[in-house]
Structure 1
């Protein structure tokens, strides 16, 4: 297990913490070599063993949780799913929840002690369900953020498809920021610059490219479509209901009022899992970014209830 020494990725935390009026906890980058030669990477916040593990959505990375973690002020592990952030891309291109959950299990075996409160957003939520079904010893509770197995968000809005299916490398990060803003993504320019910096890397030839594999696959899929080559349909959701049915831990669904889970989707979720809780929040699909304080409060309440406080 290696600990990275490059701390530039943490340069945004002080300003975020100042906005919230909270201290910046100790944070470090972890890396774990897997038996097949790939690696899984994560951010560990705090000096104690984590009580909470966070799993991001497709096309994101562990830093999407930064503001939520600052509001949370609890020992936390935020994992880069395979093909995202600093975790290795999968040569088999299988980014469905069950293979992803296998990597998460390996990370928790290495970096945690005892079951975790797992919070997963979008693809991370389905991965959390797969983890809880396969390794119940690792999951004390599961909070799923704005996703159900009945929703396929992999295609995304047309502008998002255009964004990721466009060029996958750029001369500068500023060029990519300009493209994101032109297509209506991000908030302020400073917020967009932060997101781009944390989700890209500099190649050996000096070009800037996306860290996550999905952008590269989207571009390949668009090229295949243009040339008439068949593209396999998404399989992200095909095992989701089976996994959820096998989960023995308490389950909560967070429905974002401006997200992807409709009232009908939430009702189906409640019908299939009558013991689950459904909570609504005023946020977009990326609740961890647009409703971080409210989401952190829900996590704290869950931790308090679990400890009997």
Structure 2
């Protein structure tokens, strides 16, 4: 797939929806410590919506949702993901990532945002909204609460990312994804792999996100500790990954002054009990349920876009 770039898939996606392809560009921000924060700017006007993806994903996870939504938006690559720099300390937790998101909002937006966050992005968004209420008009959290079990999620996904850290080609990685039952159709899997991987100078292909390397290191450490362990055993969750959910507590959500909406997937990580706990701790929070799993933005982008559009309309009223 060497002839493709990250925007090559948009025309076909837009045509399938009967939508026009908006202006989409990549923007980068140099951070004070030498790291880079990268994002996609959707539309020519200043963004009204900023979106934060989940662990192991990147800004392109929102592509189809944003084609449906049709408003100016900013989709960030969180640190350790996409085209943003990895963290040396592997501290991919909401409160640690929040200052980078604040810097992005200060640089790339000119008004309080409808801040949408999925999974890790949702916990990060809550930390941003709690610490900088002037930057956030509404908070939408997609299929995550601080009460969710940090080991939740399909075992095959963790085993998939705990495999080799580099590959001979993207096609090889697509076949591995399909063999694990991931990625959907071959076309969708090829798009997802292309947008979430890079070719190194030595010609080998690796995931863009740091989590694959953390998961592989944890699996190797577990195998050394337990010689009976094999490749079919679910890898131990690395401390940095476990901390993604554990270290951002309910206090952040409780301190958010903006209206909060939780989007729960029927087959996702957030249970009805989790949702009720959010209602108890965040009076006035709304809860919406979509007929999806954890990745609502990929499973039913039209429904999620419609929900976000309602929130944007409320914020503009």
Which residue does the alignment assign to 1:298? 307
Instruction: Quickly say closer, same or farther: Cα 1:154–1:83, change in 2 above 3 A.
Output: farther
Distance 2:145 2:297 in 1: 17
Question: In 1, Cα distance between the equivalents of 2:159 and 2:309?
Answer: 38
2:70 — aligned with what?
Answer: 73
Q: Who is 1:3 aligned against?
A: none
Cα offset, 1:267, TM superposition:
1.1
Note the C-alpha offset of 1:7. 7.9
Deviations 1:84-141 (A, max 9, x none): 0000000111001011111111111111112100000011000000000111111110
Secondary structure, counterpart of 2:38 in structure 1:
strand
Q: 1:284 aligns with which of 293, 296, 313?
A: 293
Query: Which of 258, 261, 278 is the matching residue for 1:269?
Result: 278
How many correspondences in the alignment? 303
Runs of 4+ that moved beyond 4 A: none
TM-score, length basis structure 1:
0.95
Contact 2:153 2:269 in 1 (8 A): no
Q: Contact 2:52–2:125 (CA<8 Å) still a contact in 1?
A: yes
Match of 1:157 among 137, 154, 157: 154
Inter-partner Cα distance in structure 1 for 2:299 and 2:112: 28
Q: 1:129-168 to 2 correspondence within 5 Å?
A: 129-153=126-150, 156-168=153-165
Distance in 2 (CA, whole Å) between partners of 1:223 and 1:304 is 49
Go from structure 1 to structure 2 and tell me whether the alpha carbon gap of 1:172 and 1:155 turns closer, same or farther (over 3 Å shift).
Answer: farther
Q: Which runs of 5+ in 1 are unaligned?
A: 1-5
Alignment partner, residue 239 of structure 2: 232
Residues 198-246 of structure 1: per-residue CA shift (max 9 Å, x gap): 0000001000000000000100111111223995372223333011111
Counterpart secondary structure, 1:248: coil
Q: Which structure 2 residues correspond to residues 199-214 of structure 1 after superposition, within 5 A?
A: 199-214=196-211
Deviations along 1:246-296, one digit per CA (max 9) or x if unpaired, are 100000000111211111111111111121000011112111111111111
Displacement of 1:18 after TM fit? 0.9
Aligned equivalents of 1:171, 1:109: Cα separation in 2: 40
Q: Select 1:94's aligned residue among 91, 96, 111.
A: 91
Tell me, in whole angstroms, the C-alpha distance in 2 between the residues paired with 1:26 and 1:240.
Answer: 37
Please provide the CA RMSD for this pair: 1.6
How far 1:305 moved relative to its partner? 1.6
SS at match of 1:119: strand
Is residue 254 of structure 2 the alignment partner of residue 245 of structure 1?
yes
8 Å Cα contact 1:17/1:23 also seen in 2: yes
| Residue aligned with 1:120, SS | strand
TM-score, with length taken from structure 2: 0.93
Q: Kindly indicate whether residue 60 of structure 2 is the aligned counterpart of residue 63 of structure 1.
A: yes
Q: Whole-Å Cα distance in 1 between the matches of residues 128 and 299 of structure 2?
A: 26
SS in 2 for 1:258: coil
Q: CA deviation at 1:22?
A: 0.8
Q: Of the candidates 6, 9, 25, which is equivalent to residue 9 of structure 1? A: 6
1:11-68 superposed Cα distances (whole Å, 9 cap, x missing partner): 1001111111111100000000000000100000000000000000000000000000
